[in-house]
């Protein structure tokens, strides 16, 4: 779906409290989350503006977002143990 919000809170609602905790106490996590959310917003804006970039560039942005999301999810899982 175009323009869908993939923020960490939307993607992992079960980790809402942990996301908030890590964002406030772990500078590296907070920085990575900020970068991830900025990339997600950039993708949403492009999608809502009929993707004014070529398909390969959009695929790369979405790939980068997925890689970042996987890394953040791994940190969440490891921190929840």
The answer to whether residue 21 sits within a structural domain is yes
Whole-number pLDDT of residue 3:
72
The answer to whether residue 40 sits within a structural domain is yes
- Residues 8-55 have pLDDT tens digits of 999 999 999 999 999 999 999 999 999 999 999 999 999 888 767 899
What is the rounded CA–CA span in Å between residue 20 and residue 3? 24
State the total domains in the chain: 1
| Contact between 18 and 79 (Cβ < 8 Å) | yes
The answer to whether residue 2 sits within a structural domain is no
Range of the domain at 48: 8-79
The answer to whether residue 24 sits within a structural domain is yes
Q: Give pTM, 2 decimals.
A: 0.89
């Amino acid at each position: 779906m175009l323009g869908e919000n993939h923020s960490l809170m939307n993607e992992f609602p079960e980790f809402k409290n942990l996301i908030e905790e890590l964002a406030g106490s772990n500078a590296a996590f907070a920085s990575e989350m900020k970068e991830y959310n900025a990339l997600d917003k950039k993708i949403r804006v492009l999608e809502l503006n009929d993707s004014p970039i070529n398909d390969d560039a959009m695929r790369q942005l979405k790939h980068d977002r997925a890689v970042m999301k996987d890394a953040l999810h791994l940190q969440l899982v490891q921190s929840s143990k």
